[in-house]
Amino acid sequence: MPIDLRSDTVTRPTTAMRAAMAAAEVGDDVYAEDPTVNALEARAAALAGKEAAIYVASGTMANELAIRLHCEPGDEALMHAAAHPFHHESGAPAAIWGVTIRPIPGGRGRMDEEALALVLHPEIRHMSRQRLLCIENTHGFSGGAVLPLDHLDRVTAVARASSLATHMDGARVFNASVASGVPVRDFAARVDTISFCLSKGLGAPVGSCLCGPADLIRRARRHRHMLGGGWRQAGILAAAGLYALDHHVERLADDHRRARSLGEAIEASGAARLLEPIETNIVLFAAPGGPAPCDALQRRLAGRGVLVSRASPVVLRAVTHMDVDDFAIEKAGAAFLS
Ligand SMILES: Cc1ncc(COP(=O)(O)O)c(C=O)c1O
């Protein structure tokens, strides 16, 4: 088996998680009759300190629902220039909802506050209405950077002053919480809606939760149905999510420690340089010289049984997760030595 560091989505459910899935009580969730889904949604809402939550198929679906909840066709959502809905959701905001995106520059996943203030405008008939500020925490393209509370306070204050709603793409907000010691509900308190993924570092096979005010989550159920996302005995999957929340949160600290030690091995090897500080479970690196050397390094690592992904032609990415232990990280680090 290769050491698969392409993403933290590649984990397989553990034996204990599979047992919890097999034992799950289920019902028809479209009728709100699946007790395990209902339990997961109640748990998610409580963790986020919000009135309600909806369990959905993916982080993409959660983000897209949030965009629809806060925007109408023709409206504009503002987000970091490297945010997931802008780059990696197949153009869904425009294709599905008719929403345009205004990318805001900034380092370490933080929107530059001056740049944000400069693009905000009042409602004018010939401009798109600005309705939503999306914040990603941790920020994937910045190497899993944690957005601190003081930054969140400032950008959300700017957003609120312009009557924008706020959504946090917290696909990896549990990583942010474990790395910073800030409870998830404190991050969530800064925004109107927050989504988080169970199928990344938390190790569940499927699913994300979108949390927010009860009236918005009620509307989200309708929009999820439009996307074909109404599901039936989904409790089998929700059971994995509940198991993950019970057993796989604190262990994220191990992933973070392993990412740091992989980073040290990469730097020491001289084969590549780190592109961002390592705060959580994502290591971004590059071989000097541009796309061709990056390509060669990725292929060389694959030949040695270590899979990494390509964040761009000149950025390679390794992500630590439940299925890589200390021994695997040591082997992965050694694979960088020429
Ligand atoms: C920051 C972020 N948001 C959203 C998503 C989308 O999640 P999914 O792959 O479950 O659609 C991802 C996926 O990697 C992500 O990294």
Atom 6 in ligand 1: residue holding the nearest Cα: 59
Q: What does the pLDDT average to over 184-193? A: 98
Cβ–ligand 1 contact at 276 (below 6 Å): no
What is the spatial distance between Cα 316 and Cα 140, in angstroms, rounded to a whole number?
Answer: 13
Residue type for 186, please?
D
Q: What does the pLDDT average to over 270-285? A: 97
CATH 3.90.105.10 fits 251-334, yes or no: no
Of 89, 174, 200, 282, the one to substitute when testing ligand 1's pocket (max ligand atoms within 8 A of C-beta) is 200
Cβ–ligand 1 contact at 171 (below 6 Å): yes
Question: Is 15-247's fold the same as 251-334's?
Answer: no
* DSSP bridge partners of 283: 318
Of 88, 96, 142, 147, the one to substitute when testing ligand 1's pocket (max ligand atoms within 8 A of C-beta) is 88
- Atom index in ligand 1 nearest the CA of residue 208 equals 10
Tokens of 229: 């996302």
* Domain chopping of the chain, boundaries: 15-247, 251-334
Q: Quick check: 167 and 67 in contact, CB under 8 A? A: yes
pLDDT tens digit sequence for 282-319:
999 999 999 999 999 999 999 999 999 999 999 999 99
Across all residues in the chain, what is the average pLDDT? 97
Residue 9 is classified by DSSP as T
> Which class would CATH give 15-247?
alpha beta
Cβ–ligand 1 contact at 140 (below 6 Å): yes
Percent helix, strand and coil across the chain, each to the nearest 5? 45, 20, 35
* DSSP bridge partners of 318: 283
Runs of H (alpha helix) within 189-325: 214-226, 235-247, 252-269, 291-303
Query: What is the predicted pLDDT for the residue at 338?
Result: 76
Q: Is 246 exposed, middle or buried (0-12, 13-18, 19+ CB in 10 A)?
A: exposed
pLDDT tens digit sequence for 1-30:
899 999 999 999 999 999 999 999 999 999
Q: Which helix (H) or strand (E) holds 100?
A: strand 100-104
What is the spatial distance between Cα 171 and Cα 132, in angstroms, rounded to a whole number?
Answer: 18
pLDDT tens digit sequence for 58-103:
999 999 999 999 999 999 999 999 999 999 999 999 999 999 999 9
Closest CA to 149 of 165, 159, 135, 160: 135
